[in-house]
Chains A and B, each alone.
Chain A
Amino acid sequence: MANLAQPATTRLNSPQAVARRRRQYMRERAIEALLFACAAVSVVVTLTIVLVLIRESLAFFSHVSIVEFLTSRTWTPLFSDAEYGILPLVLGTLLSSLVALLVALPLGMVIAIYLSEFAGARVRETLKPFLELLSGIPTVVYGYFALLIVTPLLQATILPNLPGFNVLSAGIVMGIMIIPYISSLSEDAMRAVPDSLRDGSLAMGATRLQTSIKVVVPAAFSGLAAAAVLAISRAVGETMIVAIAAGQQPNFTFNPTESAATITAYIAQVALGDLPHGSIAYQSIFAAGLTLMAMTLVFNLAAYWLRKRFREAY
């Protein structure tokens, strides 16, 4: 027991105290090292994936010129007179993601505004689990939903000439799938807007709707943009739905009512087949994967820029 009558410095410098501090320090360091190791694993895994992608892509590009890869409008790596133009796949990917975004962004935002600004606590707590459920449905189920329900429905109503495989249905269903990403992230962003801003707006005589749209949404803009970009990344990377419902024919088109293949659909198709290791077609999936990663990276950089540009201080 330390003698309380001693001055504090003496007590703090007693051998026991020094030893205890030493042990504490070692323990802290050990925990820190462990945490660092966990963080490092994720970095190492990411780097490994990127390295593998790049290595295989380099092998691919030793056979196929980058210019052809980026400019040719035909992608037929599995044919005997193979052509390697990634553009049709990029277009298919962007087109289906765009359709998905056109569905998910308005719906997701409306839902988020309702949940954050209008719904009472009870309604919110009831609705949210159902929304989360949407993102829990296996994508293969969504794929068949698009193929067997949405497409026939569109054919029977507004688009009688719609082919059985088309980007539109896949995009719409993908949009439904990413609604929860947008709505729940947007709701979080809007609920983080301080009430003092809402009070300020209401006290000006604004209605709740005006307050939501003119104050809360702009104030939460960077969060909303991040939500949208995350949803795009999710859509761009989505595989099953497009592979099932959009067809697997690479198609250089801007028309969503045609069938088309996306980068992911192509990778899935080829990876499942029995291509010889090291063949150009085999290597092409790595080049395609690298392209997909580059696209996602661009979206993330855009999100970063948006956040910086429109960072809202409140």
Chain B
Amino acid sequence: MPTVLNIVSPMDALPPPKMEGVDVKVFYGAKQALFDVSLPVRNRSVTAMIGPSGCGKSTFLRCLNRMNDVILGARVEGAITLDGQNVYDKTVDVVQLRARVGMVFQKPNPFPKSIYDNVAYGPRIHGLSANKAELDGIVETSLKKAGLWKEVADRLDQPGTGLSGGQQQRLCIARAIAVSPEVILMDEPCSALDPIATAIIEELIDELRQNFTIAIVTHSMQQAARVSQYTAFFHLGYLVEYGETRQIFTNPKEARTQAYITGRFG
């Protein structure tokens, strides 16, 4: 049995957790995919989740905005808190939760609508703008924050699906931030992109950290090292090690972490 090791770093400089998993267990039918994972996602910083394929990174990420609810037969135990409140509480409205915790997927999935309508989708659903001018403003700011404005300002009425892969992913990021979420979850957001598009997104993530709390799943160790402040290493459904990214990559406490980051398995 692998042991669960939750490294509690010294309290002083660390930002407080924005979200936190407490003894999270996830089952898909009879199969358990996560075992007692306890993991903070700290405020206004980037938390990276790494680990070999099938270790439960996406599963944990999907607990944070309850996207596991959509999967037939998925069951979550334990608690996930957002600002101290359990998001799996009966009183929590999942619509509200997902407005506060946005998500960007592995494969860019813009809706088959115009660029404008893609970004305006969330604000319209949640009734965030009183009039067209306000909505225009939200769309523009979101596209600017996603670093896409300059490229699409003159063709907002064109379909979002006509953009390049990297642009589509930035459009999805713009779509996610248009409802001013507090947390953004990203599941391998660059795995379908070329190195240049990846570099742009990584830069963007670093900027977004000023305003948002970010949790990102990645298969690239370099990417985790470049963009994150905290790293969690998963293996076979267990959280093996969590700590500041610098420490995880230079001085891992667990042999398995060491083996994984040096490329000896995975």
Interface residue ranges, A against B (CB under 8 Å): 194, 196-197, 199-207, 210, 214-215, 218-219, 312-314
Alpha-carbon distance between A194 and B113 when the two chains are bound, in angstroms:
15
Alpha-carbon distance between A297 and B14 when the two chains are bound, in angstroms:
70
Q: Nearest residue in A to B65 (C-beta to C-beta)?
A: A203
Q: Are the C-beta atoms of A205 and B70 separated by less than 8 Å?
A: no
Known: A204-B102, A205-B95. A199 touches B121 (CB 8 A): no
Main SS at interface, chain B: helix
Alpha-carbon distance between A207 and B125 when the two chains are bound, in angstroms:
9
Q: Are the C-beta atoms of A204 and B70 separated by less than 8 Å?
A: no
Which residues of B sit under 8 angstroms from A314, Cβ to Cβ? 109, 112, 161
Query: Which of B24-32, B172-180, B199-207, B237-245 forms contacts with chain A?
Result: B172-180
Q: Which of B112, B122, B162, B172 contacts A219 (CB 8 A)?
A: B112
* 13 further interface pairs, Cβ-Cβ under 8 Å (given A201-B111, A203-B98, A210-B125): A196-B107, A199-B105, A200-B109, A200-B111, A203-B102, A205-B95, A205-B99, A205-B125, A205-B126, A206-B95, A219-B111, A219-B112, A314-B112
Q: Are the C-beta atoms of B176 and A204 separated by less than 8 Å?
A: yes
Which residues of A sit under 8 angstroms from B126, Cβ to Cβ? 205
B52 contacts the other chain (CB 8 A): no
Q: Are the C-beta atoms of A204 and B122 separated by less than 8 Å?
A: yes
The smallest C-beta distance from B109 to any residue of chain A, in angstroms, reads 4
Interface residue ranges, B against A (CB under 8 Å): 65, 67, 70, 94-99, 102-103, 105, 107, 109-113, 121-122, 125-126, 159, 161-162, 172, 175-176, 179
Q: Nearest residue in A to B124 (C-beta to C-beta)?
A: A214
Q: Are the C-beta atoms of B107 and A205 separated by less than 8 Å?
A: no
Alpha-carbon distance between A197 and B103 when the two chains are bound, in angstroms:
12
Alpha-carbon distance between A158 and B111 when the two chains are bound, in angstroms:
44
Alpha-carbon distance between A197 and B95 when the two chains are bound, in angstroms:
17
Q: Are the C-beta atoms of A207 and B172 separated by less than 8 Å?
A: no
Alpha-carbon distance between A242 and B134 when the two chains are bound, in angstroms:
53
Q: Are the C-beta atoms of B179 and A199 separated by less than 8 Å?
A: no
Most A C-beta atoms less than 10 A away, residue of B112, B122, B172, B175: B112
Alpha-carbon distance between A312 and B114 when the two chains are bound, in angstroms:
11
Q: Are the C-beta atoms of B112 and A201 separated by less than 8 Å?
A: no
